[in-house]
Amino acid sequence: MFKEIGVADNIVKAITEIGFETPTRVQQEVIPLLLEDRGRDIIALAQTGTGKTAAFGIPILQNLDVKKKKVQVLILSPTRELCLQIADDIADYAKYIEGVKVAAVFGGASMERQIKAVKSGAQIVSATPGRLLDLINRGVINIMEVDTVVLDEADEMLNMGFRDDLVAILAETPEDKNMLLFSATMPEEINRIVKNYMDEPVEIVIGKKNSGAENVEHICYMVYAKERYLALKRIVDFNPEIYGIIFCRTRRETQEVADHLMRDGYNADALHGDLSQAQRDQVMNKFRIKHLQLLVATDVAARGLDVDNLTHIINYSLPEELELYTHRSGRTGRAGRVGTSIVIATIKEKHLLKKIEKQINKKFTTAEMPDGKKICERQLFHLIDRMEKVEVDHSQIEAYLPDINRKLEWLERDELIMKFVSVEFNRFLDYYKNTPELSVQKDVKSTGKSFRDEVNFKRFFINLGKTDNLKPGTLMGLINDFTGFADIQIGEIDIQRNFSFFQADSEYSDTIISAFENKDYRGREISVELSENNRRGNSDRRGDRQFSGGKKRFSRGFSGGSGRSGGGSGRGFGFGKSRRFEEFNRKERKFEGRKRGKSGKKEY
Ligand code: AMP
C-alpha cells in the first residue's frame, strides 16, 4: 500500500484513481528512501514498464515547495514522447495538490509556448537535453536553483549522443543537488557520470544488472539470411494473437519489411526517422489503440513509444549495439505479463547470440520453424476460438435467419461447419500447403556463392505446372530438397498450365537434372531438362534483375512464400538481399556512421 510507505493522502487519492493500488518493486525501494532521506542520490537499474516514473515522481511531488515559483526539479529523458509522458504522469499524480506546475520542454515544437509554460512558474520541468540546452543558452530558462535532477533512461540518452548536452546542462546546476539516475543497462559511460556527478549513490537493482525482464522468454529461429522475411511471416502466422514490434536496423529495411507485410495482407506499418513527426505520431497512435497489430520500427524511432501489453518483440535483424537488445526485449513482459522476444538469426550471427545471452543472463531457446501444417492448425483453432467467442447481435441477425435457413437447409451440420471455416481458411491453407521448411538444416550443402557473385543462368523445362498446383516457392523447395544445396541461385520462373520453365545457375545444370531423375511430385513422375531456348538465360545477371519486379520474376529468397496471412497471393518480388540492396545498406550505414561521428548524435 502506498500509504504504508509514506505517500501523502492527496497523492494516494490521485494515484488510486489512476488504478495504482500496490507499489511496484522499484516504487517500494525508491519512494521511502527519498521521503526519509531527502537529498540521497540514487541509481536505479530499472526498465520502462517497472513503474519508475511514479517511483521518482511521487517523492518529488511530496518534497516540492509549491509556493516557490522557480524550477526546482529537472527531469531529463531521451525522447519527446517520454518527456511528454513524464510531464503528464506527474501532473496526474499532482491532481489534488494545489499550485503544482509541470512544463514539458522538447524539440520539434514551438519554443514560445514552452518558454511561457516555464515562465509561468513551473516548479518541475520535464525536458529533452537538446531543447533544454538551447533554452538555457538563450537565457530563457534558469536551472541554477534546481534541487533535484532526474536522468531517466540515462543509457538511452547516452546512446543517442546526448552526452555533451548532459554535461553542459549539469554544469548549470548547483553542486549540492540531489541526483536520481534511472537506466535499463549500465554501460561504462554511465559509471563515469556517476563518479563525476553523484555523491555516494544508493544502487537499486530491479532484476539483474543489464539483464532482460524476468518474465520474457527469448527464442531464436536460425534461418538463411535470404529467408528472413519468410521466417518473419511464419512466426507471425504461428502467433495469430500477436501484438508486437518488429525491430530492423535501418530505416530502409524497416520500410521495406513493413511494405511487404502490408502487401501480403498483414495489419502492419512502419515507424522510422524518415517519416515526419506527424506521420510518426499517427502510426504510434494507431499502434497504441491496437488498430495496428505489428509495428516495424528502428530502435530510435520506437523509443518514444510506451505500450505495456505487447505480446512479442521480433528482432528481424539484431541491433548493431547489442546492448539495445535488452531495451528491445524489455518492451514485452511488462506489468506482470509474460512476453516473448524472438530473434531471426543466421548461423553467422550465432556468436552475437552468445554475447546477448551473457548480457541478459538468460539462454535463448532455439526453436524449430513451424511447418505449414502446424501453422494451419494454429490458425484454424484461432478462427474456431474467435467464432466461439464472437458476440452475436441477435436483433440484427435474427431477421435474416429464416432466409438463411432456407438457403442452407440442404447442408448437414459437419458440411456446414466445414464450409464456414473454409471461407476464411482456404486461401491460408493454399499458401502453406506446399511451402518447404525454412529452418537452417545443418546437413545442407552450400554452393559457397554469395549474391554478389555473377551468375550465368540456364533455362530448364519441368513437366509440372499450374494444374499440379506448382508455385514458385514449391518449385524452389523441390530444387532445394532434391539437390541438397541450399543456395543455388534461381532466376526467372515461368509457370504455365501443364509445364514450367525456370532459370538456375548454369554451374549446377547437371546436378539439377540428375537430382530430379526418378522423382515424383503428387504421384506424377517429374521430368527436368535443359530448355532449348537458352538465349536469355545465358545473358541474365542476377544483380540486375532483382529490383525489376517484373511479373514472373522471383528472387530465390522471397518467392518461396507467395501468399498472405490468412490467404491471398501476395508475392515477394525483388526483396531478397540483392547486390543493390546490400550495397544500399552498406552505404546507408556508412553515411549514418559519418553523421553520427560528426554530430555525435544518432539519427532516427
Ligand atoms: P513506467 O515504468 O513509469 O513507464 O510505468 C509503466 C506502467 O505501469 C505505466 O502505464 C504506469 O501507469 C503503470 N504503473 C506504474 N506504477 C503502477 C502501480 N503501482 N500499479 C499499477 N500500475 C502502475
206 band by pLDDT with thresholds 50, 70 and 90:
confident
Which of 205, 228, 260 is the last residue before a domain boundary? Answer: 205
Q: Is the CB of 49 under 6 A from ligand 1?
A: yes
CA angle 260, 332, 564 (to 5 degrees): 25
Question: Domain of 523?
Answer: 456-603
Q: CA distances (Å), 194 to each of 83, 148, 187, 198, 199, in order?
A: 22, 15, 11, 5, 8
Whether residue 72 is predicted with pLDDT greater than 70 in this model: the reply is yes
Residue 579: how many other CB atoms lie within 10 Å: 18
**Do the domain assignments include residue 441?**
no
> Which three-class secondary structure state does DSSP give residue 268?
strand
Averaged pLDDT, 14-34 = 93
Least Cα distance to 577 among 601, 532, 540, 546 occurs for 546
Tell me, yes or no, whether 279 and 312 share the same domain.
Answer: yes
Q: Whose CA is closest to atom 12 on ligand 1? A: 51
**Do the domain assignments include residue 221?**
yes
CATH of the domain at 81: 3.40.50.300
- Mean pLDDT of the residues in the chain: 82
From 20, 47, 89, mutation site for ligand 1 pocket: most ligand atoms within 8 A of C-beta:
20
**pLDDT tens digits, residue range 422-444?**
887 777 777 787 676 665 544 45
> Which three-class secondary structure state does DSSP give residue 137?
helix
Q: Whose CA is closest to atom 21 on ligand 1? A: 20
**Do the domain assignments include residue 444?**
no
Tell me, yes or no, whether 56 and 197 share the same domain.
Answer: yes
Whether residue 382 is predicted with pLDDT greater than 90 in this model: the reply is no
Whether residue 547 is predicted with pLDDT greater than 80 in this model: the reply is no
From 11, 16, 308, 334, mutation site for ligand 1 pocket: most ligand atoms within 8 A of C-beta:
308
In angstroms, what is the span from residue 54 Cα to ligand 1's centroid?
A: 7
pLDDT, position 440? 55
Tell me, yes or no, whether 275 and 402 share the same domain.
Answer: no
Contact 333, 320 (CB under 8 A): no
116 band by pLDDT with thresholds 50, 70 and 90:
very high
Give the helix/strand (H/E) hosting 45.
Answer: strand 42-45
Whether residue 77 is predicted with pLDDT greater than 90 in this model: the reply is yes
pLDDT, position 218? 95
**Do the domain assignments include residue 160?**
yes
The residue assigned the cell 524539440 is: 107
Whether residue 110 is predicted with pLDDT greater than 60 in this model: the reply is yes
CA angle 307, 312, 313 (to 5 degrees): 85
**pLDDT tens digits, residue range 505-539?**
888 888 899 889 888 888 888 999 998 766 443 33
Q: Into how many domains does the chain fold?
A: 4
Tell me, yes or no, whether 335 and 256 share the same domain.
Answer: yes
CATH of the domain at 484: 3.30.70.330
Percent of the chain whose predicted confidence (pLDDT) is above 90:
45
Task: Return phi, psi of residue 526, to 5°.
Answer: -90, 145
- Render 404-419 in DSSP notation, one character per residue: HHHHHTTS-HHHHHHH
Q: CA distances (Å), 450 to each of 270, 453, 477, 545, 579, in order?
A: 29, 6, 19, 15, 9
Q: Which atom of ligand 1 is nearest to the CA of 47?
A: 2
Which of 327, 350, 371 is the last residue before a domain boundary? Answer: 371
Q: Which atom of ligand 1 is nearest to the CA of 24?
A: 19
**pLDDT tens digits, residue range 394-407?**
888 889 999 999 99
Whether residue 242 is predicted with pLDDT greater than 50 in this model: the reply is yes
Q: How far apart are CA 459 and CA 504, in angstroms?
A: 7
In angstroms, what is the span from residue 24 Cα to ligand 1's centroid?
A: 8
Averaged pLDDT, 248-268 = 93
Pairwise pLDDT comparison (347 vs 73), residue with the higher score? 73
Tell me, yes or no, whether 340 and 407 share the same domain.
Answer: no
Pairwise pLDDT comparison (450 vs 70), residue with the higher score? 70
Tell me, yes or no, whether 149 and 284 share the same domain.
Answer: no
**Do the domain assignments include residue 331?**
yes
From 16, 24, 28, mutation site for ligand 1 pocket: most ligand atoms within 8 A of C-beta:
24
Q: How far apart are CA 108 and CA 212, in angstroms?
A: 32
Whether residue 599 is predicted with pLDDT greater than 60 in this model: the reply is no
Q: Whose CA is closest to atom 18 on ligand 1? A: 20
> Which three-class secondary structure state does DSSP give residue 551?
coil
Pairwise pLDDT comparison (455 vs 465), residue with the higher score? 465
262 band by pLDDT with thresholds 50, 70 and 90:
very high
Residue 325 CA, distance from chain mean position: 11
**pLDDT tens digits, residue range 445-459?**
666 665 556 678 899
In angstroms, what is the span from residue 198 Cα to ligand 1's centroid?
A: 27
Tell me, yes or no, whether 200 and 221 share the same domain.
Answer: no
Percent of the chain whose predicted confidence (pLDDT) is above 70:
83
- β-partners of residue 182 are 44
Q: How many residues does the chain have?
A: 604
In angstroms, what is the span from residue 451 Cα to ligand 1's centroid?
A: 48
**pLDDT tens digits, residue range 142-189?**
999 999 999 999 988 988 889 999 999 999 999 999 999 999 887 788
Whether residue 330 is predicted with pLDDT greater than 80 in this model: the reply is yes
Tell me, yes or no, whether 464 and 583 share the same domain.
Answer: yes
pLDDT, position 473? 82
Least Cα distance to 28 among 55, 66, 49 occurs for 55
Task: Return phi, psi of residue 247, to 5°.
Answer: -95, 130
- Render 294-336 in DSSP notation, one character per residue: EEEE-HHHHTT---S-B-EEEESS--SSTTHHHHHHTTBS-TT
**Do the domain assignments include residue 450?**
no
Tell me the three cell numbers of residue 312: 512479442
Q: How far apart are CA 16 and CA 9, in angstroms?
A: 10
Tell me, yes or no, whether 157 and 30 share the same domain.
Answer: yes
pLDDT, position 44? 92
Which of 352, 371, 390 is the last residue before a domain boundary? Answer: 371
Tell me, yes or no, whether 165 and 55 share the same domain.
Answer: yes
Instruction: Estimate the crossing angle of helix 111-119 against helix 129-137, to 10 degrees.
Output: 70
Q: Is the CB of 255 under 6 A from ligand 1?
A: no
**Do the domain assignments include residue 211?**
no
Tell me, yes or no, whether 57 and 151 share the same domain.
Answer: yes
Tell me, yes or no, whether 381 and 522 share the same domain.
Answer: no
Averaged pLDDT, 179-207 = 86
Contact 142, 577 (CB under 8 A): no
Q: Whose CA is closest to atom 16 on ligand 1? A: 51
Q: How far apart are CA 250 and CA 93, in angstroms?
A: 38
Whether residue 289 is predicted with pLDDT greater than 70 in this model: the reply is yes
Whether residue 587 is predicted with pLDDT greater than 60 in this model: the reply is no
**Do the domain assignments include residue 436?**
no
